[in-house]
Structure 1
Amino acid sequence: MMNGSIKVRYLLVAVLGLTLASCGTVYRTPEVVEGVAGGTNVRVMNLTAESVIQANRSAYAPRSLPDVFSRTAGSGSGLRGTGALPSPTLDVQTRPNALELRLPPPVDPGPYEIGIGDVVLLATPRAAGSVEQLSGLLAAQNSRQGYTVQDDGSINIPDVGRVRIAGLTIEDAEAALFQRLVENQIDPTFSLEISEFNSRRVSIGGAVSQPTVVPVTLTPLYLEEALAAAGGITVEDQDYASIRLYRDGTLYQIPLSQLYSRASLTKTRLLPGDAIFVDTEYELARAQEYFAQQITLVQARQAARASALQELQLEVSLRRDNLDEARDNYKARLDLGADDRDYVYLAGEVGTQSRFALPYERKASLADALYDAGGVASSTGDVSQVYVLRASSDPRELGAITAWHLDARNAANFALAPRFELRPDDIIFIAQQPVTKWSRAVSQILPQILSVGNAVSN
């Protein structure tokens, strides 16, 4: 059984708890109440995508930093010159006239024709039967080894003999092979493909990274692909470089400057036997001498201006010190509260109740201020009761306040916070959770209950 002191304590707890719940006079907690009360007219507006646009329409221009923060120490005076220097003894070489564009005529070479040196691959079904007599065909399929077209234009197939296919398209070559297999009473089920293209090529040289020979395959070969295969173009002066194309004894020319400005030129189709040479008509040796002379003149100017540079460096250093001093003075005035600054105030269940200074030269959002103060207090804050309290700027509406309400129980609504622009003197308020109110009320009265109980028991 409980002794008398314990009974007294429980009785006091019950009595004071009922008193707290009935009258609500022991603990008060702030909240946002819509309507007119105490001379204040509060209108609650739920935050939505549309209402955010409405709230952001209110006029506001962020404060600008003083001009001292935009000036640099190097602005103002320049270097003193050294007067006129003698003219160069070497005249600039006159460059050649603009290079002429001479394109090869458009041509369609037709389907690829098998040539000497190409490697063809014959593939036959794996099923057993009379086709197994073609041991060479099976070997070609299984080991991926084909038949090289010999100098006489034919390939030699075991048990079939030599079949001439040079100069034929793949379809014509398949027809010729089909006829020979039928003549030798062999199942003519097979497929033919070219595994190596060695008979038709285009050579590339000159001012390229890697001169090479590019094979012409079943698909068209264009100029851009050939240049890429050679590692790209390397010239000292692209304005006067050109691509020379030799075809059937005729020289064609594409200036490099036009190649880059006209994308269609890169699609120039190349034919077997074409020779590409990247060349330049402009001799750079004399230009290098001229540039060397100009460098000498520049060095003379630099030597004469060395003292002027030193004076300028001293002047810049003094200016920088003056700017730093002015900026430090302004920061000190801010720290001491001597200069006006726009603030937003955070109250209620935020991480830290404080004031948030609106930035210079840009606008801040609800998210900026809220999370600068630590966000919503996770243990006590009610995420469904986040408000931005904004007083009316119209003097005729003194006491009118709009409470922009963010209900963040749906976490997706937090996406509105970075879009909601703050204004000077806004108040961000987060209400308590219901259980937080009770917990704080109990924490206030519990020590008094215990002290009274101790007194009664004694």
Structure 2
Amino acid sequence: MALSCKSLITSLAILSVTGCTIVPGSHFEGIESGEQTQNLEQDLEKVNIQIIDSSLIKQQKQARASAKPISNTAGVNVSNYEYKIGIGDTLTIGVWDHPELTIPAAVQRTAEFDGFRVQKDGTITYAYAPNIPAAGRTISEVREDLVKRLSRVIENPQVDIKVVGFNSQKAYVTGEVKQPGVYPVTEIPLTLIDALNQAGGLTEAADWRTVTFTRGNKTETIQLDSFYSQGDISQNRLLQHGDIIHVTRNDAQKVFVLGDVKRAGSIVLNRYGLNLAEALSDTGGLNETTADANGVFVLRKSNVEQTGVIANVYQLHAKNITAMVLAEQFELQPHDIVYVTSAPLARWNRVISLLLPSVSTVDNLNDINN
């Protein structure tokens, strides 16, 4: 099995580094026949090979646990939040003990209908107090201004102001949510998470890991999964007028299962994750008569510039009685390639030819996401 593992790694190394075209006879365009062995040996030094066993599972669990610190950076501070009035908002104004200054309520009229609308110049007009600046100010600031003006004609006026029509400020939720639309920014703080909840939550086709958040000319990626699974509150945002939240589809979050399985293909990861046992089960399992149970590999591309490793290759000895337990605990990542070899395998050129389209697909997906 050591020979087959080495050969499989060699094929991945060639595909990842050289990008050369496969031709019959184990010859690669751009590589002279005398150079092939030397290049492959050099590439093998940059491949990390591991057996899927209890120690690896323990390491991965510890790595996931250590990668989930709760952020100390508050992404949203609503304690001092005050709504800023905007053009088009409607206010109701009442003065205690002065009913002549308050529009009486009518059965068939709403408070918004009877209220004072902020005009295009950003002002409202009230009795004894014309052209009060309102747009861009808080309720308390407008009340203070109105009290000062009414004090000229009323002794110690007690003024009550409320916004009854929030018409000036809106945020937008688009993409894979159940109720995409326009959501008003009101006196109650509206956060990114609140807006997603008001939109009915994510659809089954949504990419639950990230959403894009646009404010003005700046767009950033919000790690939604970090908020929900790790408690990273720095990923939340307090929404303002014109903010856009977009939830993309989950099409790129796939694992590819190839080789000697009953139904080779791709599996879309959902928000609950996907382990190796589930991936093999979803593709019908191994072909009992031809598959090599000890030849179950997971190929995971790595950033060679950052880690010095071309790829991580994990091998599962499926003939082992504890194999399925280990497979259930081995979590797959987007763009992983699960490959099951055949027994016997006379030509590793077949492995390379099978891996080529899948690795190319992964590269294309990575280019799109980056």
Q: TM-score range by the shorter chain?
A: 0.3 to 0.5
Larger Rg: 1
Higher helix share: 1
